[in-house]
């Protein structure tokens, strides 16, 4: 098979690039399933392996590993090539899933989640970079439909499988189901994706920056998750850990300004489209993981439904996203990236504000409806903002831009779920089975949903701050001029 290029004919799965697109879809399915399948089983896992207080670590460690590795993979993809990085990511995800599925304790499960996160850190940005490499802007509007279909299927299958496994089989199958998918994706990619001959660029890897970022982010999450539970917020351990975390992250920023090849090129954020897109991606991470973590807990503990029904409610969120994302390409090609993102973020804000109406006796159908609105808005926001940033970058920068955007979403998810976990842990008491009980849970959940609504308002602001899409503006000007010329030609005839 010849190397896939932008000039290859066809966009569908039967085209020359079809097997490559299918391999990317399978790789995306690994992360998509993992993002939806574990949430509905979280309470079951907490009862069997540990207390509810440890639950946020299942999400935060995965997201932290993904966050800190994503920009490194994005950078290495520009230097070493895309294919080998994808295979490394799929391999790590396979090992992490095997470890998590066989975990005898919560600590081993968390270790497996770390390995999964390191794999996801490569799969998501590199797969998007490959898509950007082999398809044009217009073609990407169509391929988004294929990739969005993966999230659409996962949005239904994931929460449902999570509930079924938890209630009728074992939550361990949540991780074991990844193993055959990982093998199939790796084999297809190895055989069918023939990357153009890539000479490794002899650029140094910023290991110092990576160490500062990893250590600072880890301490920040440690302080947020354990503050108010293991130690008091004003205690010496809490203040020391958070102060050191801030100092290390500040050192990371200063180091990035001085080094020639930083792990995250902060100068890219000075570009208005990249900066606004990255900020929007960070807030998207906070909102999505906050809802994915606590909507199932709210449905099970406050409404009283089982894991399977709670999974269906969460599926509405993850179903609305790909449905709108699959159509976002047509929309942003007509009205531009900014206006599409503004429409999407407005829907997110409306849906997030409506979650404040939830009470202990609310209908599960109401929960699903509000989640669907938020998901639909996310699909019209996340895709246009990312593609706008990719389109503004040169070929040698595209991996770094994509990695920075994915890093922002992952670190937003990690910090967001840590903050939400701190809020819930501070307002609840745990029962004998390790799950939260009492009126304090509903109070805590209201505070969580209030935080997410505030993030949605910020998302709308950053969407509005994106520059107008020049291509869409030029098309509208041409259409207006054509209409004016037709009107002028018609005036003499009417006279």
Q: Is 3 left (phi over 0), alpha (psi -120 to 50) or beta?
A: beta
Is the pLDDT reported for residue 294 higher than 80? yes
In this prediction, residue 438 carries a pLDDT of 58
Q: Kindly report, residue by residue over 257-286, the tens digit of the pLDDT.
A: 888 777 777 777 888 888 899 999 899 988
Contact 356, 446 (CB under 8 A): yes
Checking 247-253 for CB contacts under 8 A at 24+ apart, the result is 247/216, 248/212, 248/215, 248/216, 248/219, 249/212, 249/213, 249/216, 249/217, 249/220, 251/212, 251/216, 252/209, 252/212, 252/213, 252/216
Strand partners, 227: 231
Domain boundaries, the chain: 18-195+263-475, 206-262
Is the pLDDT reported for residue 11 higher than 70? no
In this prediction, residue 170 carries a pLDDT of 82
Q: Kindly report, residue by residue over 399-426, the tens digit of the pLDDT.
A: 678 778 877 887 787 778 778 877 887 7
- pTM metric for this prediction: 0.68
Between 193 and 281, the more confident residue is 281
Contact 286, 469 (CB under 8 A): no
Upper half-sphere CA count for residue 319 (Cβ side, 13 Å): 17
Per this entry, what is the length of the chain? 495
Highest mean pLDDT out of 262-266, 394-398, 469-473, 474-478: 262-266
Q: Kindly report, residue by residue over 91-138, the tens digit of the pLDDT.
A: 999 999 999 888 888 888 888 998 998 898 888 778 877 877 777 766
Confidence of residue 473 (pLDDT cuts 50, 70, 90): very low
Q: Kindly report, residue by residue over 305-359, the tens digit of the pLDDT.
A: 777 777 777 778 777 877 787 777 778 878 888 899 999 999 999 999 999 988 8
Q: Does domain 18-195+263-475 have CATH number 3.30.2420.10?
A: no
For residue 301 the two structure tokens come to 């503990």
For residue 232 the two structure tokens come to 């008091």
Q: Is 434 left (phi over 0), alpha (psi -120 to 50) or beta?
A: left
Is the pLDDT reported for residue 218 higher than 50? yes
Element (H, E) at 429: strand 429-430
**What percent of the chain stands above pLDDT 70?**
79
Contact 223, 238 (CB under 8 A): yes
d(CA 141, CA 329): 4
Q: What is the mean pLDDT of residues 131-151?
A: 70
Contact 318, 456 (CB under 8 A): no
Confidence of residue 51 (pLDDT cuts 50, 70, 90): low
Is the pLDDT reported for residue 28 higher than 80? yes
Q: What is the mean pLDDT of residues 216-223?
A: 80
d(CA 411, CA 109): 21
Say how many C-beta atoms besides its own lie within 10 A of residue 139's C-beta: 17
């Amino acid at each position: 098979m010849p190397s896939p290029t932008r000039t290859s004919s066809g966009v569908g799965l039967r085209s020359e690039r079809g097997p490559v697109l299918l391999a990317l879809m399978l790789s995306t399915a690994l992360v998509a399933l993992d993002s939806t399948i574990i949430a509905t089983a979280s309470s079951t896992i907490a009862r069997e392996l540990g207390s509810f207080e440890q639950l946020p670590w299942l999400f935060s460690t995965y997201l932290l590993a993904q966050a800190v590795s994503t920009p490194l993979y994005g950078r290495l993809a520009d230097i070493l090539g895309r294919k080998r990085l994808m295979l490394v990511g799929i391999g790590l995800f396979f090992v992490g899933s095997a470890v998590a599925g066989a975990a005898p304790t919560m600590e081993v499960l968390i270790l497996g989640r770390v390995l999964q996160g390191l794999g996801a850190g490569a799969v998501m940005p590199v797969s998007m970079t490959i898509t950007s490499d082999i398809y044009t802007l217009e073609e990407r509007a169509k391929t988004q439909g294929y990739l969005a279909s993966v999230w659409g299927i996962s949005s239904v299958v994931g929460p449902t499988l999570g509930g079924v496994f938890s209630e009728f089989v074992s939550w361990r199958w949540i991780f074991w189901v990844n193993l055959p998918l990982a093998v199939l994706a790796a084999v297809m990619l190895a055989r069918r994706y023939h990357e153009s001959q890539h000479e490794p660029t002899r650029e140094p890897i910023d290991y110092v920056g990576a160490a500062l970022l990893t250590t600072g982010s880890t301490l920040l999450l440690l302080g947020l998750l354990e503050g108010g539970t293991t130690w008091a917020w004003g205690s010496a351990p809490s203040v020391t850990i958070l102060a050191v975390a801030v100092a290390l992250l500040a050192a990371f920023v200063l180091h990035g300004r001085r080094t020639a090849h930083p792990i995250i090129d902060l100068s890219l954020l000075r570009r208005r489209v990249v900066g606004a897109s990255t900020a929007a991606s960070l807030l998207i991470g906070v909102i999505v993981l906050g809802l994915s973590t606590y909507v199932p807990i709210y449905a099970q503990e406050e409404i009283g439904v089982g894991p399977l029904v709670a999974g269906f409610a969460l599926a509405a969120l993850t179903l609305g996203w790909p449905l709108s994302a699959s159509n976002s390409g047509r929309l942003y090609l007509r009205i531009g990236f900014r206006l599409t993102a503004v429409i999407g973020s407005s829907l997110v804000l409306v849906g997030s504000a409506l979650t404040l109406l939830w009470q202990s006796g609310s209908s599960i159908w109401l929960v699903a409806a509000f989640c669907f609105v938020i998901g639909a808005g996310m699909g019209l926001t996340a895709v246009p903002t990312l593609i706008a940033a990719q389109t503004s970058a040169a070929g040698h920068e595209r991996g770094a831009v994509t990695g920075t955007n994915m890093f922002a979403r992952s670190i937003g998810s990690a910090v967001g779920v840590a903050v939400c976990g701190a809020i819930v842990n501070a307002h609840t008491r745990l029962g004998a089975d390790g799950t939260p009980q009492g009126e304090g849970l509903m109070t805590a959940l209201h505070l969580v949903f209030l935080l997410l609504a505030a993030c949605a308002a910020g998302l709308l602001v950053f969407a509005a701050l994106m520059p107008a899409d020049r291509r869409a503006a030029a098309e509208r000007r041409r259409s207006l001029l054509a209409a004016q010329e037709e009107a002028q030609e018609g005036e003499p005839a009417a006279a």
